[in-house]
Amino acid sequence: MQRIGLFALITTLLLGMATIALGAGGIEGAVEKQSLNISAIVMFFLFVSGTLGITYWAAQRTKTAKDFYAAGGGITGFQNGLAIAGDYMSAASFLGISGMVYMKGYDGLIFSIGWLVGWPIVLFLIAEQLRNLGKYTFADVTSYRLSQKPIRIMAACGSIVTVLLYLIAQMVGAGQLIQLLFGLDYWIAVVLVGVLMIMYVTFGGMLATTWVQIIKAILLLAGATAMAFLVLAKFGFSPDALFRKAVELHPEHNKIMSPGVLVSDPISAISLGLGLMFGTAGLPHILMRFFTVADAKEARKSVFYATGFIGYFYILTFIIGFGAIVLVSQNPHYLVGGDIAKGQLIGGGNMPAIHLAHAVGGDIFLGFISAVAFATILAVVSGLTLAGASAVSHDLYANVFAKGTATEKQEIYVSRIATIILGILAIWLGIQFKGQNVAFMVYLAFTIAASANFPVLFLSIFWKGLTTRGAFIGGFVGLITAVVLVVIGPTVWEEVLMNPKGSAMFQYKYPAIFSMAVAFITIWFFSITDSSARAKQDRDNFDAQNVRCQTGIGAEGASSH
């Protein structure tokens, strides 16, 4: 009950702080450019109070470790499908992909397809196996028959690095977006996001996080559907008329209707695809979602629904991007200095969807979409933080440090502390990286997930010959290779670190094809040459693991124990 009192106190303080901040921001915003949007603020408050209400409800139901990490295991396949979609469709994919379609047309579609095709693979090879073998984190699966300590340390490193990179990208994006939409100072926006996310996760655990993600997914899908509908309505529901007008207005004309420069050399194209495809199957916050459902059947249904929602959403972003070419790019109201010839969007290249909301639905719809964008960020950072905190508390603390002797109470306590520390770290990093190019961090997170988390997880499920030594060395080698190749590659070396053009030591922008190969070969080599007693044990236990993996006999049930 003490916790509930604390929750109420922080909520009051937070809402008070937000009110003052928004009030103050109102004056600045009006001076800067657009008049502050009242409907956006109203909808933002509705969303925040609604989700805090859910968090309060969830907090009273979160008692055991299973409640905290896995929402008690009682989420249905359909709900989890929505939550996965809510976890995966970040502001980067909503604003970024529609922005890319706006700039480059067809290339945006190619990119979005890459983000989708990992999902069938997750279903066919990972989802049911994960549910049958694991409990709270994907390291439960990788360490199922391998030595707990090294494997959990390795998995936790992979998880935490992935989560942190992803978090930085989200926080910086959040700060910029909210600054623009609500007229708040950058740091206030970042602190607000950080504090809200800490509250959802520490008090409401996975249950609150799940519902924040479900609500956000519904809002985002509804908002994007309405926007695409309104765009098409302006063209008598004829895509042909929409595309024709876009081609006429876009500076690159016909070129936006077919593949452009995104995929120029096949190695980069395949490497980008590999990173996105197998990165999806190695993201800790996504994998964690499979432990919230009752059994393998619900796990597979979740992916089916999630794939449908995400695919549908990407088709919408394509229409939205083209709609923005027609309705935003020629309207001085949305351009810096009202200059159509220069064509610079107010707020930058990620803003077409936001301006389009105003163009098709006026202030109220703009307010709604702004609030949705904000909700999107909150849902994604909450999922990330929970995954990071679980790696600390469940993998590092409970299974490595306390060697399985910690009580549930202690474990949840550590998890809450870890959430708060991660939250503060995210706020600090978000402020440190202000104004920097962080777009590469999402791709780096995917590359690490594909090169460290995925190979170990995949081989632990399917390859009897995998040993502790192979997984430990290979996992770390994959992680380090991915980081090094991104850092010495053109994106970071030249664009972020400002070294002269052409000085990058590694010529490819997307290194997944190399780092994944290095990881798999290293794991394979150090496994087959491993003749230790531990290795024999690792291999001998495969059959028992596979029986559980295939049938679910002995798997974690839905009810609390």
Q: How far is the CB of 165 from other proteins (least distance, A)?
A: 25
Give the integer Cα–Cα distance in Å for 293 and 26. Answer: 44
Give the length of the chain: 561
| Of 250, 301, 355, 469, the one binding other proteins by CB under 8 A | 301
Q: Does 486 bind other proteins (CB under 8 A)?
A: no
DSSP conformation letters of 242-307: HHHHHHHHSTTGGGGGS--SSS-SHHHHHHHHHHHHHHHTT-HHHHGGGGGBSSHHHHHHHHHHHH
Q: How far is the CB of 118 from other proteins (least distance, A)?
A: 9
**CB-wise, 49 or 550, nearer to other proteins?**
550
| Of 110, 421, 425, 517, the one binding other proteins by CB under 8 A | 110
Question: 93 vs 89, 115, 173, 183, 489, CA distance in Å?
Answer: 6, 9, 12, 23, 23
End-to-end CA distance of the chain: 22
Q: Would you tell me how many other CB atoms lie within 10 Å of the CB of residue 489?
A: 21
Q: Does 273 bind other proteins (CB under 8 A)?
A: yes
| Of 307, 385, 415, 468, the one binding other proteins by CB under 8 A | 307
| Of 9, 16, 543, 557, the one binding other proteins by CB under 8 A | 543
Q: Does 476 bind other proteins (CB under 8 A)?
A: no
Q: How far is the CB of 319 from other proteins (least distance, A)?
A: 11
* Amino acid residing at 553: I
| C-alpha closest to that of 291 among 463, 458, 126, 167 | 126
Q: Which two tokens stand for residue 229?
A: 């509908």
Q: Does 32 bind other proteins (CB under 8 A)?
A: no
Do 206 and 292 meet the contact criterion of CB atoms below 8 Å apart? Answer: yes
Which of 111-123 are b and which e, b meaning 16 or more Cβ less than 10 Å from the residue's Cβ? bbebbbebbebbb
Q: Does 203 bind other proteins (CB under 8 A)?
A: no
Do 353 and 169 meet the contact criterion of CB atoms below 8 Å apart? Answer: no
| Of 303, 377, 438, 512, the one binding other proteins by CB under 8 A | 303
Q: How far is the CB of 248 from other proteins (least distance, A)?
A: 9
Q: Does 113 bind other proteins (CB under 8 A)?
A: yes
**CB-wise, 39 or 148, nearer to other proteins?**
148
Q: Which two tokens stand for residue 342?
A: 């220069």
**Where does this chain touch other proteins (CB under 8 A) — which range of 148-156, 293-301, 375-383, 479-487?**
293-301
Subset of residues 244 to 263 that bind other proteins, contact rule: CB under 8 A: 244, 247, 257-259, 263
All residues at 6 or more sequence positions from 151 whose CB lies less than 8 Å from its CB, including other chains: 139, 142, 143, 456, 468, 471, 472
**What is the sign of the dihedral through the CA atoms of 447, 449, 455 and 461?**
negative
**CB-wise, 92 or 461, nearer to other proteins?**
461
**Where does this chain touch other proteins (CB under 8 A) — which range of 103-111, 147-155, 438-446, 514-522?**
103-111
Q: Does 544 bind other proteins (CB under 8 A)?
A: yes
Do 173 and 394 meet the contact criterion of CB atoms below 8 Å apart? Answer: no
Q: Does 362 bind other proteins (CB under 8 A)?
A: no
**CB-wise, 47 or 309, nearer to other proteins?**
309
Contact string (CB under 8 A) for other proteins, positions 312-331, x = contact: --xx----------------
Q: Does 509 bind other proteins (CB under 8 A)?
A: no
**CB-wise, 354 or 513, nearer to other proteins?**
513
Q: How far is the CB of 255 from other proteins (least distance, A)?
A: 9
| C-alpha closest to that of 201 among 427, 7, 407, 433 | 7
Q: How many residues bind other proteins (CB under 8 A)?
A: 51
| Of 7, 94, 106, 472, the one binding other proteins by CB under 8 A | 106
| Of 28, 505, 547, 559, the one binding other proteins by CB under 8 A | 547
The CA-CA-CA angle for residues 234, 375, 353, to 5°, reads: 30
Distance of CA 429 to the CA centre of its chain: 17
Subset of residues 6 to 25 that bind other proteins, contact rule: CB under 8 A: none
Give the integer Cα–Cα distance in Å for 323 and 232. Answer: 8
Give the integer Cα–Cα distance in Å for 534 and 151. Answer: 13
Give the integer Cα–Cα distance in Å for 329 and 326. Answer: 6
Torsion of CA 80, 82, 83, 89, to 10 degrees: 140
| Of 44, 279, 552, 556, the one binding other proteins by CB under 8 A | 552
**Where does this chain touch other proteins (CB under 8 A) — which range of 118-126, 213-221, 329-337, 470-478?**
118-126
Q: How far is the CB of 258 from other proteins (least distance, A)?
A: 3
Q: Does 266 bind other proteins (CB under 8 A)?
A: yes
| C-alpha closest to that of 348 among 441, 439, 221 | 439
Torsion of CA 430, 432, 438, 444, to 10 degrees: -80
| Of 34, 78, 135, 311, the one binding other proteins by CB under 8 A | 311
**CB-wise, 508 or 526, nearer to other proteins?**
508
Q: How far is the CB of 318 from other proteins (least distance, A)?
A: 8
H helices of 335-407, where? Answer: 352-390
* Amino acid residing at 529: T
Q: Does 121 bind other proteins (CB under 8 A)?
A: yes
Q: Does 123 bind other proteins (CB under 8 A)?
A: yes
Q: Which residues bind other proteins (CB under 8 A)?
A: 106, 109-110, 112-114, 116-117, 119-121, 123-125, 128, 239-240, 243-244, 247, 257-259, 263-266, 269-270, 273, 277, 297, 300-301, 303-304, 307-308, 311, 314-315, 543-544, 546-548, 550-554
